[in-house]
């Protein structure tokens, strides 16, 4: 699709690239066409690098894909879009305007939170409305809402300045005085839940804001308090919908990359990264060898290193044992449901909380089983007046020996549908039957692992439940092979669509400066 585009036909309608007095020289191969890989390729090409992007799937997007079947369209993967300026900056770096490629619409309300007792809180940027909704069940929590949001804003500003602004490749990066000062100010050994309990007491409020831990695949009882910043990211900075669906971001990035001269090869699988004298020099694929001065891997490095690097270096039992010591993030159990009903109670983003939300994290991280009573996330996509596409997500444990998703998926999916029917989506089971014009598909962590190479089928690689895994992600530059870099949710600065997009830029900047001999201008 994207590789067949004719960039010359669209370039004339767009703003010309900004002047670039200094350009990089060198050829870079990017393995993987997720948002991180596309962002990295765009920033490299904008600086003059010759970039080839290899994607083994027929379409770009990585974990973010579009599914069209039986008259329904689904965005399968990330659905909550935040931090719009991060996406704008990708186009600005190439001298383009995001508005010529993508249209964003702010959401208000941001999300509808439904609790087991019938309480509903619709998250909105309007603090007064939030206070009023919370006060309906907890006046004390309502009085503390603004103070918590100020704390969330403070944590975001710290993270933006100290943790999201650069890579941590060496001890000089990690021992920056401002970074050390920032660590002290965020209290990295304090959990999200402990901070939340300074402001709130009611289980509904604790669940509503504690759920942000799952945005990094973790548990609020263990993840560091810094991730309370997500409340500000959503309510303070805003959440937006994308015209045409979230996959439109992938299409826009692919179009921009093509215009900049990136050679996009879909359906081409990398088999091995070849190194000479300790430096990556080429990528061996099922369609031949691609020479390179540097290689960027936009795939989960926890799996990719074992697959792509020479056996005598890393594909050893010792390396696999090291991976086993890492705690994986949550995975996702997904239902794609097509219904011929509107279900007017649904907003774009919806969360149905169980009575005892904390038990979900015991199931996920201690028992390592599917939650018996999970929180259920539902994203209602657009559609015509009679056909709606529902993306349904339940947090699931990482793939492991003894956990047979194929054997249990039908029963678990039926239980999720039944739970949603009890929470107001009456007749959902009938509405998805094909003979009634409906549609359903089940996607498990096994499917994600097969399609994207995600380590143990996880969404974010390693969890952020531990200090080292939260603040020191997998290195963005390989420690053994020079010229080999990594982007994506498993590496710094972390997961989430805007964060991996930002990570692609950070890797491109450091790669140009340290591998291709040009410092950032």
Give the residue among 200, 214, 247 at the shortest CA–CA distance from 78.
Answer: 247
| Angstrom distances, CA of residue 377 to CA of 390, 391, 392, 417, 505 | 10, 8, 6, 12, 30
Q: For residue 396, tell me if it sits in a domain.
A: yes
Cβ 490 vs Cβ 505: under 8 Å: no
Q: For residue 128, tell me if it sits in a domain.
A: no
Over the chain, what is the mean pLDDT? 89
- 183: CATH: 1.10.405
Residue range 80-130, pLDDT digits in tens: 899 999 999 999 999 999 999 999 999 999 999 999 999 999 999 999 999
Residue range 70-85, pLDDT digits in tens: 999 999 988 889 999 9
pLDDT given for residue 504 in this prediction = 96
- 386 CB burial (10 A radius; 0-12, 13-18, 19+): exposed
Give the residue among 125, 173, 8 at the shortest CA–CA distance from 510.
Answer: 173
| Confidence class for position 495, pLDDT limits 50, 70, 90 | confident
| Confidence class for position 520, pLDDT limits 50, 70, 90 | very low
Last residue of one domain, picked from the residues 205, 237, 269: 237
Q: What angle do CA 473, 477, 478 make, to 5 degrees?
A: 100
CA distance 2 to 334: 27
Q: Is the pLDDT confidence value at 501 over 80?
A: yes
Q: For residue 122, tell me if it sits in a domain.
A: no
Task: Return phi, psi of residue 307, to 5°.
Answer: -85, -40
| Angstrom distances, CA of residue 425 to CA of 98, 297, 422, 431 | 37, 42, 7, 10
Residue range 270-324, pLDDT digits in tens: 999 999 999 999 999 999 999 999 999 999 888 888 889 865 454 555 556 666 7
Q: Is the pLDDT confidence value at 360 over 50?
A: yes
Claim to verify: residue 96 and residue 9 sit in the same structural domain:
yes
pLDDT given for residue 320 in this prediction = 62
pLDDT given for residue 247 in this prediction = 95
Claim to verify: residue 177 and residue 255 sit in the same structural domain:
no
Q: Is the pLDDT confidence value at 331 over 70?
A: yes
Task: Return phi, psi of residue 279, to 5°.
Answer: -125, 135
Task: Return phi, psi of residue 410, to 5°.
Answer: -65, -45
CA distance 200 to 241: 30
Burial 144-182 (b: 16+ CB within 10 A, else e): bbeebbebbbebbebbeebbbeebbbeeeeeeeeebeeb
Claim to verify: residue 352 and residue 422 sit in the same structural domain:
yes
Q: For residue 145, tell me if it sits in a domain.
A: yes
Higher pLDDT, 79 or 239: 239
Last residue of one domain, picked from the residues 200, 216, 237: 237
Claim to verify: residue 474 and residue 419 sit in the same structural domain:
no
Q: How many distinct structural domains can be found in the chain?
A: 3
Claim to verify: residue 439 and residue 389 sit in the same structural domain:
yes
Claim to verify: residue 372 and residue 265 sit in the same structural domain:
no
List the structure tokens of 17: 């690239």
Widest CA span of the chain, in angstroms?
67
Sheet of 484-486, strands arranged across: 263-266, 50-55, 27-31, 294-297, 484-486
Claim to verify: residue 167 and residue 225 sit in the same structural domain:
yes
Q: For residue 112, tell me if it sits in a domain.
A: no
CA distance 319 to 478: 14
Contacts (Cβ under 8 Å, ≥6 apart) of 7: 255, 258, 259
Q: Is the pLDDT confidence value at 386 over 70?
A: no
Claim to verify: residue 28 and residue 95 sit in the same structural domain:
yes
pLDDT given for residue 170 in this prediction = 67
Provide the 8-state DSSP code for 461: S
Q: For residue 457, tell me if it sits in a domain.
A: no
What number of other Cβ atoms are within 10 A of residue 265's Cβ? 17
Last residue of one domain, picked from the residues 452, 482, 497: 452
Claim to verify: residue 203 and residue 182 sit in the same structural domain:
yes
279 is in which domain, residue-wise?
A: 2-67+80-104+243-325+465-514
pTM as predicted: 0.90
pLDDT given for residue 22 in this prediction = 43
Q: For residue 121, tell me if it sits in a domain.
A: no
List the structure tokens of 255: 């179009």
The secondary element (H helix, E strand) that includes residue 50 is strand 50-55
Claim to verify: residue 12 and residue 97 sit in the same structural domain:
yes
Claim to verify: residue 263 and residue 307 sit in the same structural domain:
yes
* Average pLDDT value for residue range 450-479: 87
- Across 217-226, 303-312, 384-393, which has the greatest mean pLDDT? 217-226
**Cα Rg, the chain, nearest whole Å:** 23
- 490: CATH: 3.50.50.60
Claim to verify: residue 426 and residue 348 sit in the same structural domain:
yes
Q: For residue 117, tell me if it sits in a domain.
A: no
């Amino acid at each position: 699709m994207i590789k067949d585009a004719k960039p010359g036909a669209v370039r004339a309608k767009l703003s010309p690239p900004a002047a670039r007095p200094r350009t990089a020289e060198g050829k870079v191969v990017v393995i993987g066409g997720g948002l991180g890989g596309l962002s990295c390729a765009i920033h490299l090409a904008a600086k003059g690098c010759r970039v080839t992007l290899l994607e083994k799937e027929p379409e770009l997007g990585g974990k973010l894909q579009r599914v069209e079947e039986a008259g329904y369209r689904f965005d399968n993967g990330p659905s909550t879009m935040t931090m719009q300026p991060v996406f704008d900056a990708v186009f600005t770096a190439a001298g383009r305007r995001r508005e010529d490629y993508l249209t964003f619409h702010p959401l208000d309300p941001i999300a509808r939170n439904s609790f087991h007792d019938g309480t509903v809180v619709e998250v909105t940027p309007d603090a007064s409305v939030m206070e009023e909704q919370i006060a309906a069940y907890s006046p004390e929590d309502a009085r503390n809402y603004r103070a918590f949001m100020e704390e969330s804003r403070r944590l975001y500003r710290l993270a933006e300045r100290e943790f999201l602004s650069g890579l941590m490749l060496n001890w000089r990066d990690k021992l920056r005085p401002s970074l050390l000062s920032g660590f002290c100010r965020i209290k990295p050994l304090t959990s999200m839940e402990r901070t939340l309990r300074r402001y709130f007491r009611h289980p509904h409020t604790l669940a509503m804001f504690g759920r942000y831990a799952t945005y990094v695949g973790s548990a609020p009882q263990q993840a560091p308090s810094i991730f309370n910043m997500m409340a500000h990211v959503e309510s303070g900075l805003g959440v937006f919908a994308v015209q045409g669906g979230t996959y439109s971001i992938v299409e826009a990035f692919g179009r921009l990359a093509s215009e900049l001269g990136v050679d996009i090869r879909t359906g081409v699988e990398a088999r091995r990264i070849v190194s000479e004298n300790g430096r990556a020099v080429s990528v061996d694929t099922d369609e031949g060898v691609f020479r390179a001065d540097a290689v960027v891997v936009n795939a989960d490095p926890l799996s990719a290193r074992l697959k792509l690097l020479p056996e005598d270096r890393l594909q050893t039992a010792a390396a696999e044992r090291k991976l086993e010591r890492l705690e994986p993030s949550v995975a996702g159990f997904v239902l794609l449901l097509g219904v011929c009903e509107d279900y007017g109670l649904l907003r774009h983003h919806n969360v149905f909380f169980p009575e005892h939300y904390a038990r979900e994290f015991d199931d996920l991280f201690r028992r390592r089983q599917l939650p018996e009573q999970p929180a259920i996330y539902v994203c209602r996509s657009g559609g015509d007046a009679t056909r709606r596409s529902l993306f349904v997500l339940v947090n699931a444990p990482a793939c492991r020996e003894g956990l047979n998703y194929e054997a249990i998926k039908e029963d678990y999916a039926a239980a999720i549908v039944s739970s949603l029917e009890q929470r107001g989506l009456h007749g959902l089971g009938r509405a998805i039957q094909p003979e009634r014009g409906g549609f359903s598909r089940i996607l498990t962590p096994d499917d994600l692992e097969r399609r994207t190479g995600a380590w143990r089928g996880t969404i974010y690689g390693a969890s952020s439940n531990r200090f080292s895994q939260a603040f020191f992600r997998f290195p963005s530059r390989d420690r053994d092979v020079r010229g080999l870099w990594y982007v994506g949710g498993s590496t710094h600065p972390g997961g989430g669509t805007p964060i991996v997009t930002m990570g692609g830029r950070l890797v491109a900047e450091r790669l140009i400066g340290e591998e291709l001999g040009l410092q950032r201008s």
